[in-house]
Every structure is written in structure tokens, then in C-alpha cells.
């Protein structure tokens, strides 16, 4: 998915994109909505579904809300500070490194990273950076969306693979379908080689989780594809994720980031989602929108009802 959401992994950035276009989607708020609590969405499927869940939980709790779509983190974070947006669904490690760069300079996430594979430590670091900006986080969900590596089911069966450690121990040399930057990013090829002893023969620059990248692995042109842990399309390509059993990737658990002045009325309602939402759930919700063409609001509503949250 990104990295469409500006993940901390292979696409490096802690930025969700460089575009300065500010778009308000069909679900966006208008001037008549000024009295409502505004939930921010980054516009891609997962963010839209999460924003709709936040909105519906707030509405259920008596807090009238609306959803505004803002296309990148550089724009949405200042809106949070100002209180124009009250809350946004975020990713713990990615947001922590975004604020790290904002405070300490563009090289901070590389030279002095604050995010780790430990969700507790990462959220603590995030709150340390967020506090002076007037921001606060809610409870991190079980659901995590981070870099993931997949192989074809046939390749996994042939080499008896379930984890990335298994791949390293197998001694099989692999070519990775990913972005060009995978060659140098610590969470991609160098990390696989260092942490798992995986032999990487090269990187096929087809992008992160793109159809072309997954098709290349399906057809055996490449061996390993870089995607994300909530990619809902892997099954249709006959691919399976190898578990990151040594925790190479940072803890990008889903959590609400809120304007601190509004935290008391918002977080008690949104924190009900944290112990319920799993990575598997989130993957399925994405699938319902992207593959089954359901509306994010409808998918969110059905899920929350199924869990007894609304």
C-alpha cells in the first residue's frame, strides 16, 4: 500500500506524498458542518474505512461528526494541531517517524529513529513527540499494517516455507519484486539479508504491492514480493505471506491521533475499537471495498454492528 500512506519502510518516507493538493471528498465536511467533530481520512481504502468506523463510533456516543479527506500527512497533521481536524486514524511507527523528522530534521528517521518493532515503546516515543504539538494518541489496535513479504504457494510448499527465517535457512536465492529503493532500505533487501540471512539476487523494480509485482511472483519471474500486511488481493494471485518472525518491521499498529483538547470526549469512544480490530479483520474490510465494491461507510457499519460496538 503505499507505500501510499507514507510507511516507514521501504519507501522511506515518513511522508504520505509530496502533493500539495488539498481535496475534500464526497464525504467531506462543508461550512455547515463546522459544529461537528471532524475525522480526517487520507483517501485510500483502509483510511476511508477506519475514518468511517471512527465517525460511527463517535455518532453512537453522541458526538456528531463528519469525515474530511486530506491527501497527505504534511497537510493533515497541521490541521490536527489547529483543531480543524479532531482525529485521524494513523500508524504508530509511521507517525512517530514523521514527527521525529518534523522536529529533528529530514535525516532523523535514518540516523536516530524512534520507532521500533515494540508497539509500547513506539507509542511512547510517538506521544513524547506529539505532546508538545498539542496531540495525543488513543490505544493501539491489534491490527497492524506494515511491510510484508509474500511468495507463491507453490514456492512455499516446494521449499517448506512459513516464515522469513525458513527462507533464510533454505539457502534459496530470491529476486524481489518491489520498489527500486528496496535495494538500500533497511526494512527491505538489506534487512532481509542482515536479519534473516536471505540471499537476495536482485530487485525487480515493479513497485510495492502492485499488480505487476504480484503477477511476476505468481508467474515465477520473481520469487518474493514486497507488499503490506493488509493486502487483500494476495489470495487471487496464489500468494502467501511469510511471517516476519524476527520482527524486522516496526510496529505500525492502527491508532487514533487526536487534538489533545478534544481527547477527553473522543478517545473513550474510539478506544473501544482497539481490543477488537485485528489485522485479519482489516484485510477483510479492505477486500470488501476494493474487490466487492462495497462502500466504506457500509462496510464499517456492518463490522461495528457485528462486534456489538454500535
140 shares its domain with 35: yes
Q: Per DSSP, what are the bridge partners of residue 242?
A: 149
pLDDT-wise least confident of 17-21, 79-83, 297-301: 17-21
232 with 277, same domain? no
Question: pLDDT tens, 130-187?
Answer: 999 999 999 999 999 999 999 999 999 999 999 999 999 999 999 999 999 899 888 9
Tens-digit pLDDT profile for residues 90-123:
999 999 999 999 999 989 988 999 999 999 999 9
Helices 45-60, 296-306: crossing angle, 10 deg rounding:
50
Angle at 91 between CA 89 and CA 96, to 5 degrees: 120
Query: What cell was used for 200?
Result: 537476495
Q: Are residues 166 and 151 in the same domain?
A: yes
Domain region containing 189: 147-242
- Asked whether residue 233 is domain-assigned, the answer is yes
What CATH number did the domain enclosing 70 receive?
A: 3.40.190.10
Q: Under a CB-based contact definition with an 8 Å cutoff, are residues 116 and 251 in contact?
A: yes
Last residue of a domain, one of 219, 242, 265: 242
Rounded-to-integer distance, Cα 60 and Cα 44, Å: 24
pLDDT tops 50 at residue 71: yes
- 152 and 104 housed in the same domain: no
pLDDT of residue 7: 46
Residue 299 resides in a domain:
yes
Looking at the domain assignment, is residue 23 inside a domain? no
Arithmetic mean of pLDDT over the chain = 90
Q: How far from 268 is each of 75, 258, 263, 293, CA to CA, in Å?
A: 26, 12, 8, 32
Q: How many domains does the chain have?
A: 2
End-to-end CA distance of the chain: 29
pLDDT at residue 244 is higher than 80: yes
pLDDT band with cut points at 50, 70 and 90 for residue 34: low
Amino acid at each position: 500500500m503505499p507505500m501510499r500512506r507514507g510507511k516507514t519502510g521501504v519507501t522511506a518516507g515518513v511522508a504520505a506524498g509530496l502533493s500539495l493538493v488539498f481535496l475534500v471528498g464526497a464525504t467531506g465536511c462543508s461550512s455547515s458542518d463546522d459544529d461537528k467533530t471532524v475525522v480526517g481520512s487520507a483517501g485510500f481504502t483502509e483510511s476511508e474505512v477506519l475514518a468511517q468506523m471512527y465517525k460511527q463510533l463517535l455518532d453512537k456516543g453522541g458526538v456528531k461528526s463528519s469525515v474530511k479527506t486530506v491527501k497527505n500527512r504534511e497537510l493533515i497533521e497541521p490541521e490536527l494541531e489547529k483543531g480543524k481536524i479532531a482525529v485521524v486514524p494513523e500508524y504508530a511507527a509511521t507517525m512517530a517517524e514523521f514527527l521525529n523528522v518534523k522536529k529533528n530534521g529530514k535525516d532523523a528517521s535514518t540516523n536516530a529513529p524512534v520507532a521500533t518493532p515494540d508497539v509500547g515503546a513506539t507509542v511512547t516515543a510517538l506521544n513524547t513527540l506529539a505532546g508538545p504539538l498539542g496531540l495525543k494518541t488513543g490505544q493501539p489496535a491489534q491490527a497492524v499494517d506494515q511491510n510484508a513479504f509474500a511468495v507463491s504457494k507453490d514456492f512455499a510448499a516446494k521449499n517448506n516455507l512459513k516464515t522469513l527465517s525458513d527462507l533464510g535457512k533454505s539457502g534459496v536465492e530470491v529476486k524481489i519484486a518491489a520498489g527500486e529503493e528496496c535495494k538500500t532500505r533497511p526494512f527491505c533487501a538489506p534487512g532481509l539479508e542482515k536479519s534473516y540471512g536471505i540471499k537476495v539476487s536482485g530487485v525487480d523494480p515493479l513497485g510495492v504491492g502492485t499488480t505487476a509485482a504480484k503477477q511476476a511472483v505468481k508467474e515465477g519471474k520473481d520469487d518474493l514480493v514486497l507488499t503490506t500486511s493488509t493486502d487483500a488481493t494476495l489470495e487471487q494471485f496464489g500468494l502467501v505471506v511469510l511471517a516476519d518472525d524476527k520482527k524486522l518491521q516496526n510496529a505500525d499498529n492502527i491508532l487514533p491521533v487526536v487534538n489533545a483538547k478534544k481527547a477527553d470526549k473522543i478517545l473513550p469512544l474510539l478506544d473501544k475499537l482497539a481490543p477488537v480490530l485485528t489485522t485479519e479483520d482489516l484485510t477483510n474490510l479492505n477486500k470488501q471495498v476494493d474487490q466487492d465494491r462495497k462502500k466504506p461507510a457500509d462496510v464499517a457499519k456492518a463490522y461495528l454492528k457485528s462486534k456489538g460496538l454500535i
